[in-house]
Chains A and B, each alone.
Chain A
Amino acid sequence: MPGSIKDKVAIIGMGCTRFGELWGKGPGDLVVEAVSDACDDARVEVKDIEAAWVGTLFSGMGGRTISEPLKLQYIPVTRVENACGSGQEALRGAAYAVAAGVYDVCLAVGVEKLKDEGSSGLPGMQNRTGTHYESTPPGMFAMMATTYFKRYGLSPQEGKTMLAKISVKSHHNGMLNPKAHLRREITVEQVLSAPIIAWPLGLFDCCGVSDGAAAAIVTRADMAKKFRPDPVYIKSLQISASPTSGRMVSSYDYTHVEEAFRGGMAAYREAGIKEPRKEISMAEVHDCFSITEAVTMEDLQFSPRGRVKEDIEAGTFNLDGKLPVQTDGGLKCFGHPIGASGIRMVYELYLQLQGRADKRQIRNPKLGLAHNMGNEPYAPVVSLCIVGL
């Protein structure tokens, strides 16, 4: 039996910038803002940080990504990258270093500056032979909706309506969040009549393309209360990297994400969770597209296979539901600055657990789960982080 991170590391401070099209801010700007907020929250100074990890996909190179703007004074800094899951990867690095007993206070930062590209979407990521099929990320996730609808006998209208309700919920939550990129209510009708981006997904099935940064300060669990009375403890940190066989072998059904299922199982085991649907109070999942959220609810065992529609219709994942999901608007509305998202998710869980989520506050949360996913549904790296009081 491998060891466990459970209750060895505490988060004592977090910060997050507003996400959005922040034309006037550079990546260093965002880093300084998020880290300053996190330090203030933890009541520490930047000079107290002993080692740091930064996750970014496009917006930096090496440890300099943060040591330069923060003028960190010769401390160890590691830049990590795990596609859209880079943020949680940074947190994992910092938490493991603390758990190993090497450092007492570490920093994890996620940052991405996407809106310097002059175009929407992510910078090109083709392979060097230039033979990659011409699909954008929405297209690759749209194909999961195509197979999901087919497998579970949903007509395009039924399937799209189910997905629309996911986006309507996230927009409602995003509206309540002053730091969110997209802050307005939408209706199912609006979602269904929006332009198609990649059939069957339309505009409102896709998350925001945003700039932003988020940061966390972690320390040893036994030291945490010296910093604040209400630290949040890490219960699990898991990650599952895909062999990417899903696009090559027929056993993959393209209606689930195996890495999320396996990563979830490992996370529940590490955190000692037996019945996730009952025990998890809330979740922030990687809802890059509405279909991703739908399938993730099944992968994480919140809903039985093929039956997430019932939970969506029952409002289970709404702010006032039994298992609120994306209480901050999610990638959909808070926005998705790639490297920042994984830490932003934990930021919302942290605020909720501390009762600081303002209008979005849910009642009496005990355990929150963050699910951060990089790359395509048939070939992702999925990281999971469970935190609690």
Chain B
Amino acid sequence: MIGITSYGAYIPWHRIDRKGYLNAFGGFAIPGEKAVAGFDEDSITMGVEAGLDCLSNIDPRTVDGLLFSSTTSPYKEKQVSALMAMPLDMRADIRTADITNSLRGSTTALGMALDGIRAGSARSMLVIASDRRMAAPSGMTEQGLGDAAAALLLGTENVIAEVKGSYSISDEFAGMYRADDDTFVRAWEDRMVMDESYAVIMPEAINGLLRKCGISTRDITKAVFDPPTDIRRHGRLAKDLGLTPAQVADPTNIFLNVGLLGSAMSLMMLVSTLEDARPGDRILLASYGNGADAFLLEVTDAIRHLGKRRGFKRHLESKKVLTNYVDYLRWRDLIPLEAARRPEKHHISLTANWRERKSILGLWGVKCRRCGTPQYDNGAMSTGPIRICAECQAKDDFEDYCFARRKASIFSFTHDMLAPTIASPASVVLVEFDGGGRAFFDMTDRDPDTVEIGAKVEMTFRIIYVDRGYTNYFWKARPVRVKEA
């Protein structure tokens, strides 16, 4: 049996209340909120979060590949799935690929992963879709777009949703696009996009799948397909397909609370559907963008044993609504700002970063074999591995020790108003990891008022800063996002 073996998702903590657009620009505001990646988040960091959620009780070293789908990779030239494999703690002998440029990249990646498993070249593959698209300020498109990520693990063991069939269509049409040098998305007249493309291509793919699988719309428990920019047209398509409202995974909830999520949209809708799915459910998954991909899934008994994920629902509940739209403009570098009157940051050495990649990207430290003390050194002048134990001074007698998934408690903190951070004050914490080890970290996604000695934190993969086009990623501490029951 081949299919989905796990799922995960990530929704940034920060939301914009769309009424904020009224205050900023006047005009009309779409109801609800949208999720916005923080100043230190991008499609890579969100994707890593979704991947970690997906692998929350699964050994990442059993996974044979990572396919990353995004239209907003920070690089035009450089693979990022290889980078993401480091914080996800995946093996080196795996297949990694970036499926970029396409809004249906997630389902394309899904198809490729399934093909690889079916062909026997991988036992399991991780698919992550993540987007942080931008539309120019003040337009309706801006109000619609949201930032988020979703992940699926595909494999042959403990399958929670078997893939019964797939069908794809390719179709050339410049409905929505972003040129190589564009910052913001561009769209052709939406009425034509919907009438001549979405309303035509999606039924073709969905009906093609149903025909291929020998079933009809009546046999579908839930139809999960992404909406066009005007989400009302999603309902019309469902009706045209002959689906009853109960059979349709309604994107309204996601749209009104998170937004249109680019290449992550269809997988986020699927994750949200799987969260409520029961064994035996037949799920139709379809995704639109220069054609369409459609899949038929059947939920198995194994879904009962998957274990809890933060997924869609629990991430959705944990949020901070921005009171000031200007914060968003500042985070995305969309308005010129006076530089902080502080000394300029040094350039990053890519040599030092490469040498330390396991420690920086994977948050790997060491544990002394002599005295048993776990250690992570953030802040050394000399960059290099820990050679001498900080506790007992034993030399070169360590085993590797990963701090990435460990929770910690705040030992001390400050809120530094002087530090030239994008989101002042810079909250810096010295934390004690559960199980031992102490280190300094920047703190993110926090209300300064709630930071106190003893408070629990967890680690999150973030952007530190960008230097000459190179995005420097590292880990930060944040308050535990979802309290365990």
Would you list which residues of chain A between 126 and 179 have a CB under 8 Å from chain B? 126-136, 138-140, 142-144, 146-147, 150
B413 to chain A, nearest CB (A): 6
* Contacting pair A121 B425 (CB below 8 A): no
With beta carbons under 8 angstroms apart, the residue of B343, B379, B419, B439 that contacts A139 is B419
Q: How far is the CA of A197 from the CA of B417 in the complex (A)?
A: 5
* Inter-chain contact A139/B418, CB cutoff 8 Å: yes
Residue of B nearest to A131 (CB): B474
Q: Would B353 and A129 count as touching, CB distance under 8 A?
A: yes
Judge whether A121 and B428 touch: CB under 8 Å.
no
Q: Which residues of A contact B351 (CB under 8 A)?
A: 128
Stretch of B56-64, B161-169, B313-321, B464-472 at the chain-chain interface: B464-472
B130 within 8 A of A: no
Is the C-beta of A124 less than 8 angstroms from some C-beta in chain B? Answer: yes
Which residues from B are CB-within-8-Å of A120? 341-342
Q: Does A243 contact B (CB under 8 A)?
A: yes
Q: Mark B371-403, 1 if CB is under 8 A from A, else 0.
A: 001011111111100000011000000000000
Q: Is B379's CB under 8 angstroms from A250's CB?
A: no
A144 to B412, CA, bound (A): 8
Cβ–Cβ contact B417 & A195, under 8 A: yes
Known: A122-B343, A133-B442. A128 touches B349 (CB 8 A): yes
Q: Given A119-B341, A143-B428, A247-B378, check contact A129 B413 (CB 8 Å).
A: no
| Cross-chain contact B416 with A248 (CB below 8 angstroms) | no
Candidate in A118, A130, A132, A138 with the most chain B CB atoms within 10 angstroms: A130
Please pick, from A124, A131, A139, the residue contacting B416 in the complex, using a CB distance under 8 A: A139
Q: Is A245 within 8 A of B343, CB to CB?
A: no
A245 to B380 CA separation, bound complex (whole angstroms): 10
- Closest residue to A138 on the B side, CB-wise? B418
Q: Does B154 contact A (CB under 8 A)?
A: no
Residue from the list B381, B414, B421 in contact with A127, Cβ < 8 A: B381
Q: Which residue of A138, A146, A150 has the most chain B CB atoms within 10 A of its CB atom?
A: A146
Verify if A123 is at the interface (C-beta below 8 Å from B): yes
Contact A249 B418, beta carbon cutoff 8 Å: no
User: Cα distance A128–B383 when bound, in Å?
Assistant: 7
Q: How far is the CA of A139 from the CA of B464 in the complex (A)?
A: 18
Whole-angstrom distance between the alpha carbons of A140 and B412 in the complex?
10
Q: Known contacts A120-B341, A198-B416, A243-B390; is A147 also within 8 Å of B346 by CB?
A: no
Report A187-218 residues with CB < 8 Å from chain B CB: 195-201
Nearest neighbor of B345 in chain A, beta-carbon distance: A124
Interface size class of B (residues with CB under 8 A): 35 or more
Contact in complex: B419, A249 (CB < 8 Å)? no
Given contacts A139-B419, A249-B375, contact A130 B344 (CB under 8 A): no
Give the contact stretch, choosing among B175-183, B235-243, B430-438: B430-438
Residue B7 interfacial (CB < 8 Å) = no
Closest CB-CB distance, A168 to chain B, in whole Å? 22
Q: A131-B472, A133-B428 are in contact. Are A126 and B345 (CB under 8 A)?
A: yes
B415 to chain A, nearest CB (A): 4
Q: Is the CB of B379 within 8 A of A133?
A: yes
Report how many A-B pairs have Cβ atoms within 8 Å.
159
Q: Given A131-B378, A136-B419, A250-B438, A142 and B390 touching (CB < 8 A)?
A: no
Q: By DSSP majority rule, is chain A's interface helix, strand, loop, or mixed? A: loop
Asked, given contacts A122-B343, A135-B426, whether A198 binds B442 with beta carbons under 8 Å apart, the answer is no
Q: Who on chain B is nearest to A126 by CB?
A: B346
Look across to chain B and name the residue whose beta carbon is closest to the beta carbon of A248. Answer: B390
Q: For B474, give the chain A residue with the smallest CB separation.
A: A131
Across the interface, which residues of B come within 8 angstroms of A135, CB to CB?
414, 416, 419, 426, 428, 440
* Interface size, chain A (Cβ < 8 Å): 46
Q: In the assembled complex, which residues on chain B have CB atoms less than 8 Å from the CB atom of A128? A: 346, 348-349, 351-353, 383
Residues of chain B within 8 A of A379, CB atoms compared? 379
Closest to A245 in B: B390
Are A131 and B418 neighbours in the complex by a CB distance under 8 Å? no
Question: B356 at the A/B interface (Cβ < 8 Å)?
Answer: yes
Q: Tell me whether A124 and B344 are in contact (CB under 8 A).
A: yes
Give every chain B residue within 8 A of A132 (Cβ-Cβ): 378-379
Partner of A130, one of B419, B439, B467: B467
1/0 contact string of A235-266 vs chain B (CB within 8 Å): 00000000111011111101000000000000
Q: What 1/0 mask marks residues of chain A from 103 to 119 whose CB sits below 8 Å from any chain B CB? A: 00000000000000111
Q: Cβ of B441 < 8 Å from any Cβ of A?
A: yes
B421 and A247 form a contact (CB under 8 A): no
Chain A residues contacting B420 (CB-CB under 8 Å) are 134
A136 closest partner in B (C-beta):
B418
* C-alpha gap A361/B349 in the complex (Å): 52
Provide the B450-476 mask, 1 if CB < 8 A to any CB of A, else 0. 000100000000001101000010100
Residues of A within 8 A of B426 (CB): 133-135, 139
| Cα(A251)–Cα(B437), bound, Å | 10
Chain A residues with CB under 8 A of B353: 128-130
Residues of B within 8 A of A123 (CB): 343
Cβ-defined contact, A254 with B412, below 8 A: yes
Are B345 and A130 neighbours in the complex by a CB distance under 8 Å? yes
Q: Which residues, 11 to 65 on B, are CB-close (under 8 Å) to A? A: none
Chain B contacts for A243, CB-based, 8 A: 390
Contacts of A144 in B (CB 8 A): 412
CB of A131 within 8 A of CB of B417, answer: no
Q: Are B343 and A117 in contact, with the CB atoms below 8 A?
A: yes
- Contact across chains for B419 and A134 when beta carbons are under 8 A apart: yes
Task: Tell me whether B416 and A129 are in contact (CB under 8 A).
Answer: no
Chain B residues with Cβ below 8 Å from A121 are: 342-343, 418
7 contacts between A and B (CB under 8 A): A127-B379, A142-B414, A195-B417, A198-B414, A245-B391, A247-B379, A249-B391
Smallest CB-CB A-B distances: 7 pairs: A139-B416, A128-B349, A130-B348, A245-B390, A128-B352, A142-B414, A198-B416
Given contacts A129-B360, A147-B412, A248-B377, 17 further A-B contacts (CB under 8 A): A121-B343, A124-B344, A124-B346, A128-B352, A129-B472, A130-B467, A139-B419, A139-B428, A150-B453, A197-B416, A198-B419, A199-B425, A244-B379, A244-B380, A247-B378, A248-B375, A250-B436
